[in-house]
């Protein structure tokens, strides 16, 4: 059960869904297209990179638990996000989506810095950050989605991929990043 939860609630799924919803929130149907473009750079390209690394024996699985490979993956994700952000801004994406994407880029850099000394839960940071940003945009009706964040945290601890402290820290970082993002991104 825990493996299935970790798989279904992995960061790429949260990220893809969230950038599409933020795009939709920013500019309706046109924003949906922008969200799909953002999802390509934030979720699809990193997933292809991780899958390639698994096939070539660079890391064991999609969760990339070892520190050095994890830092390689986070560096690649940072580059993919930077390329996506440049493209979004250059093509005139809604500022709300570009701002969110920029804050996502900073969040990944912070996660990478923490990873150099401690294995913070990226699953929990992304899950909690996603639910928090959507809650700030759409209001209290999103609050039940925090049950999915708790389920994600439970799965990471049960699988012994993280300690309770690492999942709590991931959740706190994700929520804080989302709150800062919401405070600074332009809204239409």
For residue 157, CA distances in Å to 11, 162, 175 come to: 16, 5, 19
Residue 187 has pLDDT above 80, yes or no: no
DSSP-assigned letters across all residues of 110-169? HHHHHHTTS---HHHHHHHHHHHHHHHHH-GGGGGGHHHHHHHHHHHHHTTSS-HHHHHH
Domain hosting 75: range is 2-184
Q: Which pLDDT belongs to residue 180?
A: 93
Q: Which pLDDT belongs to residue 113?
A: 95
Q: Check: CB of residue 73 under 8 Å from CB of residue 66.
A: no
Q: Which pLDDT belongs to residue 65?
A: 80
Residue 157 has pLDDT above 80, yes or no: yes
148-177 per-residue burial string, b: 16 or more CB within 10 A, e: under 16: bbebbbbbbbeeebbeeebbbbbbebbbbb
- Alpha-carbon dihedral sign for residues 22, 187, 178, 79: positive
Residue 110 has pLDDT above 80, yes or no: yes
Residue 188 has pLDDT above 80, yes or no: no
In angstroms, the CA 39 to CA 17 distance is 8
pLDDT digits (tens, 9 = 90+) for 5-16: 999 999 999 999
Alpha carbon of residue 45 to chain centroid: 13
Number of domains in the chain: 1
pLDDT digits (tens, 9 = 90+) for 20-64: 999 999 999 999 999 999 999 999 999 999 999 999 999 888 888
| Average pLDDT estimate for 129-135 | 96
In angstroms, the CA 100 to CA 21 distance is 11
Q: Check: CB of residue 186 under 8 Å from CB of residue 100.
A: no
Q: Which two tokens stand for residue 97?
A: 């989506």
Alpha carbon of residue 178 to chain centroid: 11
pTM of the model: 0.94
Average pLDDT, the chain: 94
């Amino acid at each position: 059960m825990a493996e299935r939860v970790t798989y279904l609630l992995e960061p790429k799924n949260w990220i893809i869904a969230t950038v599409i919803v933020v795009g939709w929130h920013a500019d309706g149907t046109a924003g949906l297209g922008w969200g799909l473009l953002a999802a390509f750079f934030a979720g699809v390209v990193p997933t292809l990179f991780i899958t390639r690394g698994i096939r070539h024996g660079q890391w064991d699985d999609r969760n990339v638990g070892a520190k050095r490979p994890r830092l390689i993956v986070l560096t690649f994700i940072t580059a993919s996000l930077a390329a996506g952000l440049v493209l979004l801004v250059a093509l005139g994406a809604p500022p709300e989506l570009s701002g969110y994407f920029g804050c996502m880029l900073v969040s990944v850099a912070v996660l990478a810095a923490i990873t150099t000394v401690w294995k913070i839960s990226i699953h929990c940071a992304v899950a909690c950050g996603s639910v928090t940003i959507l809650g700030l945009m759409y209001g209290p009706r999103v609050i039940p989605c925090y049950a999915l964040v708790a389920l994600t945290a439970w799965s990471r601890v049960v699988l012994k991929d993280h300690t309770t402290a690492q999942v709590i820290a991931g959740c706190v970082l994700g929520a804080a990043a989302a709150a800062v993002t919401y405070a600074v991104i332009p809204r239409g």
